[in-house]
A and B are shown apart, each in its own frame.
Chain A
């Protein structure tokens, strides 16, 4: 655990030593506010909740999280520092976990910095703050799943742009797998169990219920298991490809 902490501190320091974290947080705050007010009509709805804000998170994460995940492994491999990292007395698992937690912490910080919105609706009305907290937790969990996918794609290549595009594509599949665009393609020929399975992979469906304040074990579990699976996949990829 001590090693993970040391690595984690280095990763976070690196986010803030470069403009990455600042740019990410600023863009995230601006875009989330724009979506919530102008497209989600937060004011005009005259309801004291943050649904218009949270509803756009999957779409925001779709582009922003791959942007923060793309450098994690691709840059290490490109600069060769992975050779230094992997010959230090640490395990690959510790490195994977530390990198993930560092980027996830930056995502968490970005979410926390949206607190003025929460203050606003508390000033304007009497929202159910339990629902708001649940939605924040759900959003953070979902961002973790996006992040794990992005890191896995970053492990596949030395090129950050390739990593970004792969991550956006894979994340997109997971976002839309519950929507009619995808399900219609299966309807008519696939058995319902296949359709249900495809639908159950969707980030949207799992996030929607949490955003409404229902923290069900299967939704939370879905995101946690997604994180573990994608991180495990990146671990295997790094073990195989680190020296290429």
Chain B
């Protein structure tokens, strides 16, 4: 498990990470969300031992990053931001080099290398210098490198950045199919990725934790959570909805004829809304219950916190 307490990093007079506290259990797939410059990458760099925290504590499987950095690094597979690699090497040479550094030998080494090559579909570029590969392939070589030693902890900084939709899907599937007792931490700008992949979301802004919970809890924070959106065939008076108990607000969208009803938390009023529509004979042709809007929650939590 990962245990982080009071983690702080200061660059000059800029506090990049400000007293962060969290812990992550095996089996957790955690998504770091946050605006650019929020401290996500800095936090990852500290977890992987690349930079030293100015204050606080990181314990990974009861090992301290200050006392046993080498043992911790053995447990972690890391894809740094931008997937850097040695451009003059081919993916095959690169993976062989990483495998040797990771202490893989003989049959196990061959087996692991061919395993990640198959998993990540690198066959077609194995003998081309990494410098000549497309952005998507470079990212995948970086992923292969991180997965090579079958690490207990996988830390991926923007793993799907620069991939096309098919490749994104492939990488998400790959992460989902990892053994269930591993820890995966990804950072991303794609909000949907978090709900698709993660069972924990941490929103970081200005170096501080703004939210730490499940994607469901996050979406429940949206004022659109359980909101009912209906579409009217022709304009019609909908102000009567305010008489239905539990409806807080009516948000008409004149451009496309949609009306969104914001519901007070705790009320389940789909039935009441239906009744109201029938009584007033409103020209409703579609109606659905919203899950919530992640982008709106994200904006509310991180606004004013941008650097």
Which residues of A come within 8 Å of B, CB atoms?
A: 3, 6-7, 10, 13-14, 17-18, 79-81, 83-84, 86-91, 242-243
Contacts and interface: CB of A to CB of B under 8 A. Distances in A.
Contacts, number: 63
Contacts of B145: 84
A96 to B, nearest CB: 15
B12 to A, nearest CB: 11
B88 A89 contact: no
A54 B11 CA distance: 49
18 contacts: A6-B97, A6-B101, A13-B93, A14-B86, A17-B129, A79-B84, A83-B50, A84-B78, A84-B84, A84-B145, A87-B50, A87-B76, A88-B73, A88-B98, A88-B101, A88-B102, A90-B70, A242-B50
A38 B48 CA distance: 56
B50 A81 contact: no
Contacts of A10: 86, 89, 97
B157 to A, nearest CB: 9
Nearest to B86: A81
Interface string B64-78: 000000110110101
B101 A89 contact: yes
Nearest to A82: B84
Given A10-B97, A17-B89, A83 B74 contact: no
B215 interface: no
Nearest to B97: A10
A17 B45 CA distance: 30
Interface in B86-102: 86-89, 93, 97-98, 100-102
Given A89-B73, A91-B70, A18 B88 contact: yes
B84 A7 contact: no
Given A6-B100, A10-B97, A80 B84 contact: yes
Contact of B48 (A7, A87, A242): A87
Nearest to A78: B84
B67 to A, nearest CB: 14
B57 to A, nearest CB: 19
Given A242-B50, A243-B51, A84 B101 contact: no
B10 to A, nearest CB: 13
A81 B85 contact: yes
B84 A81 contact: yes
Contacts of B84: 79-81, 83-84
B113 to A, nearest CB: 15
Contact of B50 (A6, A13, A243): A243
A7 B101 contact: yes
B49 interface: yes
B80 interface: yes
Interface in B45-64: 45, 48-51
Nearest to A7: B101
Contacts of A86: 49-50
B70 A80 contact: no
Contacts of B49: 86-87
B73 A87 contact: yes
